[in-house]
Every structure is written in structure tokens, then in C-alpha cells.
Structure 1
Amino acid sequence: MRPTVRCLVWDLDDTLWQEGVPLPSAVHTLHALDRRGILHAATGRGDHTPALDRHGLGELYLARRFGSHRAPAAVRDLAAALDCPVGLVAFLSGDPVALAEVSSVLPDVRCYPASTVERLPELADFTPAVVLPADRERRQVTRAEQRRGAAEEEHAGTPASFVASLGLELEIRPAEREDLPVAPFLRSGGRMFDTLELCGRHAENGQEVVAASLRDRFGPYGVVGLAVLRGEGTSTALELLVSERVLSLGAAEAFVGHLVARSLGTGRRLVVEFELTTANRALLLLLRFSGFSIAARPAGRMTLAVDPLIPPARRRSPIRVLGEGVRPMRRRR
């Protein structure tokens, strides 16, 4: 079975409108797919922006290419604008020529005639096996990224001053099962976790899975970090997964700093088993800056630890950490 469509490009000239009014069936499809995390983009010969805004549909179309573009070029540009692989894009149009051109030039794009607009939510291509909270927030996260990027381009100060202006808030809390599917997309200090394994860890007594969610004045980033904590005698073993896209914001450092402070506050030594690769070198630097030192170097790996007797210095951060919801570490029975 091929993967679910992530982005639907609408040729608005022939699919959304009927005598200047949105078709109810098309509006239903817009909202149904949006709730499943499928993003919408728009193309067309004329500028449909005023009409979209007038009918309250503008927020649903995250990228637009209006004008005399050839359909394949417009679809390719819109996919790139939303960072979506072409193989996860679908094209909806009432123009047989445009559909034929896209099928010929971009054979991985799934093409649908306008007559199918009402039935799209029933098709397997548009029906994920599971719809998670992160999927339902995909449009809001993408829109926030767009607004954030535009603001950064207009910012006259330094990158650090722009980060300070974002009003970043990091919520650290017990992970829910709905948070765990993000794990394969996060960077770890060793092997990667899959969702099923983390679900097992989540349910196992004596272990704790913690999630970190980030947001700023533009909106949410989603879950940007997960940590598995396990009591071992007087130590706490930490397995850490973080999003690379927020390393430069200091969010991962704030997450690690919170876990370090919490562990040291209970008198426990925090330990990480780390397998260095080219891909996770930035994560190693993050741990070293957060107070971890190399305690041992077993074959092909290293053991990093924070000594409770030598706590790391507190570092200033532009991020407000909300962590009251994380429960104390449970001991094994």
C-alpha cells in the first residue's frame, strides 16, 4: 500500500467554485482532509486570494501559485514550498490537459479530476491508518513556520536577538502515547527507537517517558524531544531523542538542563550511553555543554554522566520552561 497523501494541490479554476460561491462538497473535503493532517495548496490562472479570504478559506491554503504557470511547474513549486516530497502530492483539477501534463512530467504525483472532489475523503490515498494530535496540528505548525520565517527575514538584529524575541515556551510533561510516533524523526545518542518500542517503554514499570513540546508567539513546533528515564541504583539512565531543527533555538539544551536539574535534585547521577556518529555529533556537544563528562569508553561507545557533587553552572536561556507536570522518578520494585 502506498503512503498517504501529505499535500493536495487544487487547481481552483475548476474545482472549488460554482458561480463565485464555494461548492459545499469541496469545502467539506477541504476540512475533512485538514483534520487528517493533509495540507492544501492552490494554483490557478487568476488570483483567487480575495475570494478565498472573503469566504474564510484562505487559512486552509498554505501555499499558492497563481498566474500563467504550467501545471507541472506549479505543482513542483508548491510541493517544495511545503517541503513535501513529490511522491506524497496529489493534484486535483477540472482541466484534462493540466492533469495529463502533470501525469506525464511528474508521474509520482497522484492526479484526480474535479468530479472526484466529494469522494476524496473516502479514498485510501487520503485516509491515514491513524490520525494523531500531531497530524491534526500540521497546518498550524506549518503556518507558524511560514510566519516565523518571514519575521526572521525582516528582523534587523542578530540571530540571537530574533530568538530572544520569539517568546519561546518549552512544556516538559509525561509523554502520552500520541506523542510517541514522532520518535523516528528525532536524533538520538545511539540506536533509533521505533514507535512500538517506545509504547512498550511507556507502559513498563520503573521507566518514565517524558515529552517536550515547544511553542512561541507564532504558534506550535510540536513535540521536539523525548526522554526515557530508568532508575538504576543511585543513578538514572537517560536515553534522549531531540529534534535537530530546534538545536539552534536552545530548546534541546533547555530540555536536557531540566532533566539534569531534576535528577540532581533527587541526588541521583544522570547517565547517558552514547554511540558517536557523524549525524549525532551536535547532540554530543549539547550533552557536554549541559554538564556531562566522559565517565568511561567501552568499545565503540562512551558513557557520559553528570556528577551530583559537581553540578553544571546554570546558563541563561531565552526559553521559559514549564515542567511542573513531570512526575518524580519511580524506583523499580
Structure 2
Amino acid sequence: MSGTEGFDPDRVKCVVWDLDGTLWDEIAVESATDALPVPRPRMLAAIDALADRGVLSSIASRSAPSVLGRLDDVPGLRARFLAPQVSWQDKSESLRAIAKDLGIAVEALLLVDDSPYERAEVEALLPGVRTLDPAEVPALLAAFEGREETPESRARVHRYRTEETRRAEAERFRGTREEFLRRCGMRLTVGAATPEEIPRALELAARTHRLNSSGLTPDRLRELAGSAGHELFTAAMTDRFGDYGVIGAALVDGTAPAVRSVPLLALSCRVAGRGAAAAFLFRLMERSRAAGAEEFRVTLRPTDANLEMRMLLRQAGLRRTDDTADTADTAAGAVLGRSLHGDLPEPPAWLHVSDREDTEA
């Protein structure tokens, strides 16, 4: 897809920039010295403005790999980009590699490139990726105007850079994946959302797709969270590398005394594969049973993206129920449920889970 018509900024997590003719005017490999061309100030300003709104930036350039090494020698410039790809491979392959390195769907990328050929190649092989000419960057920024900046969004680039450090250490680690996760010292804290966390919860509802149970809209989530009998919970995580921030949100409906229903469970894809989604779900079950509930339900709207969430719910013992009353807020939704009697699933051994009330006591 090309251009900004019908553009949904909530779907874009990373803007990928071409170099020659886009980030700067000249062709880097034709430079008479080792110095890189001077970046266009308006492009750097756009990258910084996007970062303030939680949008990452990367690089996909068909050029000599040595250009990336020269970029590393300019820390103030290199720090703006995550998982950059500089090689002679097709742009579509570079975008696939960027998405894999960042742990996001390739459809969450947007390419800015001055070459109509490169844009067409990406549009043909990655039809879910939007592409823009550099002249359309002001329209891109305008699409993000009015989007609320949260502490989480402003810290996102830093947190993804911390994730690069985690990944690099994991690659060097000589042991099993579980041994490495134990070494990370991960801690998950669950509690009722504070007023400061509500914007982040709304952001998770809008921007997460892999680990999102129902796709409840931010407006509907805000409305339900403020209604009687409903409570919004968040999950925050840390490890020895740093603070992940708020990585999960769940709306819990307690209007039926014997049942706790979850119209929305959403988690950041940054924690996929670390047990955080399962641990958050299990802690919600435990809290529901402690509150006197006998049954736990989750609203599920299956999509092409949320297979991981569907597998998690099934592994947690939730099965489709006959009661579909909870699906009113999600088109083509289903209600999955399980009894809270007997043993409940346990979180992964490498992840310490606690309630916020206990840590603040």
C-alpha cells in the first residue's frame, strides 16, 4: 500500500528509512572520504518526533554493508535506529529481517524510500506494508498529531535498545533457553491500574495484535473500565537488564458474583516467549478465585494475528462455553471459560510473580 490515504497510525510500530536519496541526498558508497553524507535535518526531526510518540525507526538500504560500519562511527545518528539492514538484498527481505529482530509483525512496518521501484517491490511481496515517498513524510507526521504521548511511548526506543542487549547476551550464553531466562531475574507485578497507567492500557488495546484476546477498542475499554463492577488491571515487568514498563492490560468484569469475565486481555509483543502472558493470565485467575468467583471467562475474537493468544487460552484450560452474552463488544467473538476449582496453572519457574499490593505494603 502506498501513500497516507486511509492510514491507521496505530498499526505502525516502526518506520524503516532508506538512506541514499531519502535520509540524505548523496550516495554513501560514492563518497570520496569515509565520512557519511549529511542527513537531511527534516528527516532527523521526523525520526525524533516519531520516537516521542513511541514509533521506532530502522534502516533498509541496498548498499555496501560497510556503510553500516561507518554509521556505527556516528553514535548520535546510529542511536536513532534499531535493527538496521544495509546490504544488496531486496528491500522486502530486509524488512522481514527487521521485523524478526524487533519481534513485531512485518505489517507493523512502514517504508520511506525515494525509489518507486523499491516501493513497488515491497508492495508486491509484502502487501500488508505501507510505503511512502520522502515527500509524504509531513503527511505521516500529521497522521500522528493528537496521539497521546505517554511515559511508555517516550521510553520505547530505549527499551527496545535494552532488548538488543538482552538478545546479544542470549546469543553469547552457553546454556539452555530456560537457564538464560532464570539468569535474567524477571519479575512480574500485577495490580489495579493507576490513573497514570490508563493511557498505556488504552495503547495496548489499540496497538497489540499477537497477544490480544478480543480487539476491544480503546474508547470501549475506557467506557467499560469506568462502569460499575469492572476493574482494569495492569502488569509491569523488570529484569536485571532494565525495566520493561507496563506490558499487559486486562479488563475484569465482576458484575456476576460467581463469575469473573475478561472482555480484554492484551500484552506487548516485546514479552512474547518469556512466560509473561501466561503468568498474567494465571494471576488473574488466582485473584478471581480469591474474590469468591467459581468460574473464569475470557472473550476471544480470533484473528490472523492472535494465534499465540488462542494457544495460551487453550493451554490454560479455557474452552468455549454456551453463554455468549459476553461477546456483545466484539464482532464474531466467543466466550472461553474454565472452573476455578482445583489446581490452577503455575507461572514459569524463571518468572517471579507478585501482586502490586504486596510490593507496596
The TM-score with structure 2 as length reference comes to 0.66
- Correspondence list, 1:206-217, <5 A: 206-217=229-240
Give distance in 1, aligned partners of 2:246 and 2:154: 13
The TM-score with structure 1 as length reference comes to 0.71
Q: Percent identity?
A: 21
Structure 2 residue runs without a partner (length 5+)? 1-5, 27-34, 100-104, 124-129, 325-334
Cα drift, residue 56 of structure 1: 1.9
**Structure with the higher fraction of residues in strand conformation:** 1
Q: Is the 8 A contact 1:37 1:137 kept in 2?
A: yes
Residue 171 of structure 2 corresponds to which residue in structure 1? 153
Residue 102 of structure 2 corresponds to which residue in structure 1? none
**TM-aligned CA distance change 1:102 to 1:65, over 3 Å:** same
Cα drift, residue 314 of structure 1: 6.7
Give distance in 1, aligned partners of 2:180 and 2:79: 25
Instruction: Tell me, yes or no, if structure 1 residue 110 matches structure 2 residue 110.
Output: no
Give distance in 1, aligned partners of 2:245 and 2:46: 25
Give distance in 1, aligned partners of 2:156 and 2:131: 21
Of 313, 329, 334 in structure 2, the residue corresponding to residue 283 of structure 1 is: 313
Structure 1 residue runs without a partner (length 5+)? 94-98, 289-293, 327-333
Give distance in 2, aligned partners of 1:103 and 1:276: 36
Range moving further from structure 2, 84-93 or 164-173: 84-93
> Secondary structure of 2:297's match?
strand
Q: Based on CA coordinates, which of the two structures has the bigger radius of gyration?
A: 1
Of 139, 155, 159 in structure 1, the residue corresponding to residue 157 of structure 2 is: 139
- Correspondence list, 1:1-333, <5 A: 1-4=6-9, 6-11=14-19, 15-16=23-24, 24-42=41-59, 43=61, 44-45=63-64, 46-67=66-87, 69=88, 73=90, 75-83=91-99, 85=106, 88-93=109-114, 99-107=115-123, 109-112=131-134, 116=135, 120=137, 122-124=138-140, 127-128=143-144, 130-133=147-150, 134-175=152-193, 176-178=197-199, 179-183=201-205, 185=209, 186-188=211-213, 191-219=214-242, 223-232=246-255, 234-239=257-262, 241-243=265-267, 246=271, 248-266=273-291, 268-273=292-297, 279=307, 280-287=310-317, 298=322, 303-307=337-341, 312=344, 317-325=349-357
Cα drift, residue 32 of structure 1: 1.6
- What root-mean-square deviation, in Å, do the aligned CA atoms of Structure 1 and Structure 2 show? 3.9
1:54 is matched by which residue type in structure 2? V
Per-residue displacement from partner, 1:10-63 (whole Å, max 9, x unpaired)?
315773489755554443233122223333223344525445543422221113
Give distance in 2, aligned partners of 1:227 and 1:173: 10
Q: Is the 8 A contact 2:184 2:240 kept in 1?
A: yes
Give distance in 2, aligned partners of 1:214 and 1:319: 10
Give distance in 2, aligned partners of 1:232 and 1:271: 13
Give distance in 1, aligned partners of 2:168 and 2:121: 31
Range moving further from structure 2, 2-11 or 241-250: 241-250
Give distance in 2, aligned partners of 1:206 and 1:82: 43
1:216 is matched by which residue type in structure 2? D
> Secondary structure of 1:272's match?
strand
Cα drift, residue 204 of structure 1: 0.9
Equivalences, count:
300
Give distance in 2, aligned partners of 1:317 and 1:196: 37
Range moving further from structure 2, 146-155 or 158-167: 146-155
